[in-house]
Amino acid sequence: MADLVSAAAPVTVRPSAPALTTAGRWLGYLAWPWAAGFLVVSNELSRAVGYPPDQQPLMLRFAIFAIAAGPGAVWFMTLTRLGQLRGLRRLRATTQPLARVDRHGLELSLPGHGVRRFLWEDVARLQIHYSWPLRGALVGTSGATLAVVPESLVHARRVWRSDRNLAQAVVEVRPDRYAQVVNWAGVTDAFALHEMVDSDPRAAERRRFLGRAVIISGLGGLTIISVAVWFLSQT
């Protein structure tokens, strides 16, 4: 095991989404209410001046849609590579989340806190806080919280490509010290010292089975309700 640790290459964990400033976050929060409210108000105003929605000129419809969707489009572009453009860069945090894992320790780049480095001797586990927004807590061997880890490092990007998240990278580099901790969906999103992980290997499998059973039951219930509503509507 020591040879594997010595040969382990450093791993860089990139965020699943960029960190935004307060303005960028509020832009995302308000984009949908703005779109819905503007469409309703614009239709009422158009009707009041003699243009009912079904008689609006094509250019007016395009203009209304563009204004309604504008904030949401800007917010979406901020989350993509276009967020590097000068005008959109102000909506991104100056320091972006990033983690570098090597056999000696963990280096975290955190918005609002800069770059911090932790030696493995001081790190006990990564604990997930299922709050909003979801985040992780890097807990030390003393039991104190060393750092708050953003969700973008806890959960890897899996839409366009599958990346490592922080927990997977740590276990990959230091399998001698840490073991993976899986969530109810069977995904590794946390890690802990071997002696802190549940000694019963079947417990994790039972949690995964329970989570999947809940999802399947929920989807099955929705399907039955939908079919029943459709059937009743046909009679």
pLDDT band with cut points at 50, 70 and 90 for residue 72: very high
Q: Give me the percent of the chain exceeding a pLDDT of 90.
A: 42
Q: What is the mean pLDDT of the chain?
A: 82
* 164 φ/ψ sector (left φ>0, alpha ψ -120 to 50, else beta): beta
pLDDT of 183: 75
Is pLDDT at 146 greater than 90 in this prediction? yes
Chain-centroid distance, C-alpha 176: 28
Q: What is the CA radius of gyration of the chain?
A: 24
pLDDT of 23: 92
Is pLDDT at 5 greater than 70 in this prediction? no
| Nearest-angstrom CA–CA distance, 180 and 167 | 7
| Nearest-angstrom CA–CA distance, 210 and 205 | 9
Strand order across the beta sheet in which 145-150 lies? 145-150, 135-140, 123-129, 188-193, 178-182
pLDDT tens per residue, range 163-190: 789 999 999 999 999 999 887 767 788 9
Give this prediction's pTM: 0.69
pLDDT band with cut points at 50, 70 and 90 for residue 32: very high
**Helix 58-79 and helix 22-48: axis angle, to 10°?**
170
78: Cβ contacts below 8 Å, ≥ 6 apart:
18, 20, 24, 27, 88, 91, 92
Is pLDDT at 200 greater than 50 in this prediction? no
Is pLDDT at 204 greater than 80 in this prediction? no
Distance set, CA 3 to CA 9, 12, 137, 175, 228 (Å)? 12, 21, 30, 11, 61
Is pLDDT at 144 greater than 90 in this prediction? yes
pLDDT band with cut points at 50, 70 and 90 for residue 202: very low
pLDDT band with cut points at 50, 70 and 90 for residue 221: confident
pLDDT band with cut points at 50, 70 and 90 for residue 60: confident
pLDDT of 220: 77
pLDDT-wise least confident of 1-5, 20-24, 182-186: 1-5
